[in-house]
């Protein structure tokens, strides 16, 4: 079925039309995964909530802006993808799914996250990129098992000091925000392995050489005057990244050295384990 026809059928609430969009998905698949991405859905069909053993639910790239309270029945759900929809607020029913490990909320219209998010204490991966966040919600700092945080392409200007409490955090993606200085809290997080602050407004980088866990720092596309100092073996991506520890000067001019190969951004396909 073409996308145009799907979009038209999606407006019709009849059971027959909705069944057509779902392509006869009437029973829970053996692999306990339902992928309804790109179906032009405007609401979640209620019979999906009866699949109580469901582990993975992908609802990406639809027209959803709410979820039914019956979603709470999916207490075995570990992966939930709600990215590329029209959510202006995270439905509170999501916060009742306490077995969630991976939650995708990117490319919506979120300006905040509810305090109830703290109930998801098994959450290890949170994607909130490409929303309308002007500050990182402090409730994120209460997700004690969080390992990966992707908050790129928002309007963040700083990070809360409480972020240092996330001692399981290993990867933080902050590219495409409004950071004017390197977030001081990251200097107190020795367990971080990957820091991405690409495409911000940072003019000076402090030394990161004291961070023993650091493996990769991406600081490209900032108006910086220096490269961050790092420990031996840590890969840097940005201006003067091949210079140690400071950029080489020749005839009073700084020689800008760029890596010919830049690491891939966070994967487009959704990882299922962390």
For residue 90 the two structure tokens come to 């995270």
For residue 112 the two structure tokens come to 């905040």
Q: Phi and psi for 196 in degrees, rounded to 5?
A: -120, 110
Please count the residues of the chain.
Answer: 274
Would you state the pLDDT for residue 26?
Answer: 74
In tens, the pLDDT along 28-39 reads 889 999 999 999
Tell me the pLDDT of the chain averaged across its residues.
Answer: 87
In tens, the pLDDT along 146-190 reads 999 999 999 999 999 999 999 999 999 999 999 999 999 999 999
Q: Give which of 102, 112, 114 is closest to 155, Cα–Cα.
A: 112
Would you state the pLDDT for residue 27?
Answer: 80
Taken in order of first residue, the domains within the chain and their CATH numbers are 26-109 (3.80.10.10), 133-242 (3.80.10.10)
For residue 60 the two structure tokens come to 């990406």
Q: Hey, how many other C-beta atoms are within 10 angstroms of the C-beta on 188?
A: 13
Say yes or no to pLDDT of 243 above 90. no
Q: Please, which pLDDT band fits residue 24 given cuts at 50, 70 and 90?
A: low
Q: Answer with the residue of higher pLDDT: 28 or 142.
A: 142
d(CA 49, CA 153): 32
Rounded average pLDDT over 123-145:
98
């Amino acid at each position: 079925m073409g996308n145009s026809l799907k979009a038209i059928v999606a407006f019709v609430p009849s059971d027959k039309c909705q069944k057509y969009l779902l392509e006869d998905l009437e029973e829970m698949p053996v692999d306990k995964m339902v992928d309804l991405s790109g179906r032009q859905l405007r609401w979640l069909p209620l019979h999906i909530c009866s699949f109580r053993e469901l582990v993975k639910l992908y609802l990406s790239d639809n027209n959803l802006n709410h979820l039914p309270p019956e979603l709470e029945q999916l207490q075995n759900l570990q992966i939930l993808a709600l990215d590329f929809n029209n959510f202006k607020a995270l439905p509170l029913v999501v916060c009742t799914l306490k077995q969630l490990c991976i939650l995708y909320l990117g490319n919506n219209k979120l300006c905040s996250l509810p305090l109830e998010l703290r109930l998801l204490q098994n959450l290890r991966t949170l994607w909130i990129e490409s929303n309308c966040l002007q500050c990182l919600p402090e409730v994120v700092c209460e997700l004690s098992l969080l390992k990966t945080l992707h908050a790129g392409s928002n309007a963040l200007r700083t990070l809360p000091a409480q972020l240092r409490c996330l001692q399981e955090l290993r990867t933080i993606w902050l590219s495409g925000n409004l950071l004017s200085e390197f977030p001081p809290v990251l200097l107190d997080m020795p367990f971080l392995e990957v820091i991405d602050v690409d495409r911000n407004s940072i003019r000076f980088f402090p030394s990161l050489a004291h961070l023993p866990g650091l493996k990769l720092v991406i600081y490209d596309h900032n108006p910086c005057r220096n490269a961050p100092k790092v420990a031996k073996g840590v890969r840097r991506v940005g201006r003067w990244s091949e210079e140690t520890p400071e950029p080489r000067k020749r005839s009073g001019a700084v020689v800008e050295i760029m890596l010919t190969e830049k690491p891939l951004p966070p994967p487009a396909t959704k990882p299922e384990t962390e």
